[in-house]
Structures are given as structure tokens and as C-alpha cells.
Amino acid sequence: MANSILVLGNSGQGKSSSMFPNKDLQIKGLKPEETFIINVAKKPLPFRGYKKFYQEFDRQTKKGNLLNSNSASEIINYITNIPKLGKFKNVIIDDANYLLTGEYMSRAKEAGFAKYTDLAKNFYDVLTAGINLPSDMNFIMFAHTEVEEGAYKLKTVGKLIDSQINPNGFFTYCLVSSTYVDTEGKTVYGFYTNSTRDDRGLVVPAKTPYGVFKDLIIPNDMGYVIDEIEKYNQGE
């Protein structure tokens, strides 16, 4: 099974930018040649010059490292076949919430509860495909949050889906975005690594195995995260 990492946070909190190398922000990020991004929202990636590093995957030439799709079946097919290409270490699903909202809106006129079961099943199948990638790979999912009963959770499209699937439980690691303003007035972005309460008193559902990270809040740098996980796996 792959290293499975769920990253939760609101839009603009540094989730997506954590994967792009940026010397100015001291973010190591992930190497584009080792990273395959599934862009569910189909929007431009939040990284200057991203088209130089991420191109749409071509089935014939087997070149490219980007898929723009919100189709669960297509995403599952790609995830299943990515290891056969032999060059990618990281598979990222960005804005995973749109897997749910996209299908929900396309079936909005359907009556009954069957569509919610289908939505949960499709989401479950995507999660399972990613987590079952080989053990030398990293499956990373970015998703937005909502607040319910005083705690952050992955934003879905209804309580019926919540009752059928708990995405957080599928992942070994759950990081939650953290932002604060430092003494110089600059916004600092980071990730919570373990459960706590934020400055609003809301429960942060972060979790990581004991000993992986020394600090409650770490830099929002996916390169750093992967390095520390690898050290932990190797017993360093």
C-alpha cells in the first residue's frame, strides 16, 4: 500500500502550492517528473509557469503528467495504470471535493437516495485505488473543509454520504492547513500534524504516526513531508 496523505484546508491556505518547488518561499515541493496530478476542478494550477512542468497526459505517446477530469471511472483507470509507466512516485488528486459535487450536480434532477449511494461508492473506489498503489509511491489528496459540530471535516454533499464513508479513516496521514500572521505582518502557511484546537476553538482532525514529525505545525512543503515520512519508514 502507498503512503497515503490527506491534506485538508480552505481555498487559499497553501494546500496546492505545497507541491510546487519555490525558492522564494523555501518550499522544496515535489519533482514534476516524478509527480502525476489529477486536476479534478480542471482549473489552472496555482503555480507560475506550471505549463512548462505539467502537460496533459497523452495515451498514445505515454507522455505528460496531468489529467484534467472529474470522472471517477476515468480517474480510477489512470491511477491503476500509472505504476506501469515506471517513473512516477507521487499521485495527487487536487480538489477532491469536486469528485462529489461534479457528479452531484450532473444528477441533481434525479429523485431518491440512490444517487448518494453511487456518489459514496465512486468516491470510495477512487480512495481505494489510490491507497492500493505500490508501497514505494505516495498517494496525496487535497480537499476543502467544512465545519460540523465544532470540528473541521472534509466537505461533502450531504449527511447521507457522511454516514457511508469517512475519508479521514482511509489515510495514514491527515494534515490540516494552518495560517497565521507573524510579527512582521506576513501570512505564514503550515500544516497541523496532530489533533488540536485552532484559535477559533474548532477541532483540527490532523493525525500522523507518533515520531514522524516533531512539531505540531510544520511548513506547508510536501517535499519536506515526503522526506520525513521516508525517514520514518526507514527507521532513521
Mind listing the pLDDT tens digit for each residue in 126-179? 999 999 999 999 999 999 999 999 999 998 877 766 777 788 899 999 999 998
Domain of 190, CATH number, reads: 3.40.50
Residue 98 has pLDDT above 80, yes or no: yes
- Domain interval for residue 215: 3-234
Mean pLDDT score of the chain: 91
Q: What is the pTM of this model?
A: 0.93
> What is the SS3 string spanning the chain?
CCEEEEEECCCCCCCHHHHCCECCCCECCCCHHHEEEEECCCCCCCCCCHHHCCCECECCCCECCEEECCCHHHHHHHHHHHHHHCCCCEEEEECCHHHHHHHHHHCCCCCCCHHHHHHHHHHHHHHHHHHCCCCCCEEEEEECEEEECCEEEECCCCHHHHHHCCHHHHCCEEEEEEEEECCCCCEEEEEECCCEECCCCCEECCECCCCCCCCCEEECCHHHHHHHHHHHHHCC
Residue 63: predicted pLDDT: 92
Count structural domains, the chain. Answer: 1
